[in-house]
Amino acid sequence: MKLAALFWFYKEVDICVNRLRILRKHNPDIQVFGLFGGNPDQASAFQDRLSPYLNDFYAFTQDKSPHWKWYHGDQMIVDWYRQRGVSLSWDTIFVAQWDMLVFDRLDRLFSMLKKDELLLSGLRPVKEVDPWWYYVRPGSTERDEYERFIAYIREKHGYDDEPLCCEFIVSCLPRSFLDKYQAIPEPELGFLEYKIPTYAQIFSTPLRRDHPHQPWWGDAPGADTVPHLARALNSETKNVPLRIIEAHRLWPLGCRIFHPVFDVYPEEWMDRLRLIGSEILQDEIKKRWWRWHHKRQIEKDTGIPPQP
């Protein structure tokens, strides 16, 4: 499977450079395609700054509002696929968002993923979030649209499965899925976080469920009791704190993808601190080993266990 990255961005060029530098540092050999969704008048300026890190640059130029671009972000990806992505070389794209930090090789982060499988963070039945999730909460206009969407796909596609939803944070979209998804009727009916997984069911696209990229749902009952270390992926509007990022990076089994982060990550500074910390830790390990070795030698020579 040929895995590529689709870097999806629309503002904050300095942050975008920061994100791409880090992504490239850990993934020097992958294809990284750019999808710019901001003001078309700024596209050339972004292209000039980001081209050193991108294998391709594409600007979405349709006259759409910022809310439309957020709510129907899937249609921006579809536009990229139709106009540019279909002719590029890849099997699956990892959607790397501008406010996301990625600190590892993609082939390691998604080693469990097979060709033609679709991966979505937070994949779960809609019925589990029905009482509190903003996009389906009872009595809201969002709920009305969701019910219109379900009624439509039941009539149009004979859909009779259990509707699914996700947090569209970490996502890997196979070409075989996008090839079908770009042709769906009524593409602006429904919200992408339940529309994409539900259409995956309709297309019989395999869904990769066992993976470590699980988000914290901030609106869920009891969400405020979840430890902060378990909130490395979320769709809230506050930064994942730097201390949480560094705690995970120091832990061999910690997260390597973080979202959202709206500030430039101090890469060089943190690398130096990590190196200093590593040297201090190594020195302490050496000291402790020599103390242990010395005590063991005393015991061996005298037969008397040394005092603590």
Taking only the tens place, the pLDDT of each residue in 3-46 is: 999 999 999 999 999 999 999 999 999 999 999 999 999 999 99
Q: Give the CATH class of 3-265.
A: alpha beta
pLDDT recorded at residue 267: 78
pLDDT recorded at residue 266: 87
Tokens of 38: 């901001």
Matching residue, tokens 């430890």: 227
pLDDT recorded at residue 250: 84
Tens-binned pLDDT, residue by residue, of the chain (308 aa): 999 999 999 999 999 999 999 999 999 999 999 999 999 999 999 999 999 999 999 999 999 999 999 999 999 999 999 999 999 999 999 999 999 999 999 999 999 999 999 999 999 999 999 999 999 999 999 999 999 999 999 999 999 999 999 999 999 999 999 999 999 999 999 999 999 999 999 999 999 999 999 999 999 999 999 999 999 999 999 999 998 998 898 888 999 999 999 999 987 666 666 555 555 445 544 455 455 545 555 555 555 555 54
* Domain limits, the chain: 3-265, 266-308
pLDDT recorded at residue 100: 98
Residues in the chain: 308
pLDDT recorded at residue 281: 44
pLDDT recorded at residue 297: 56
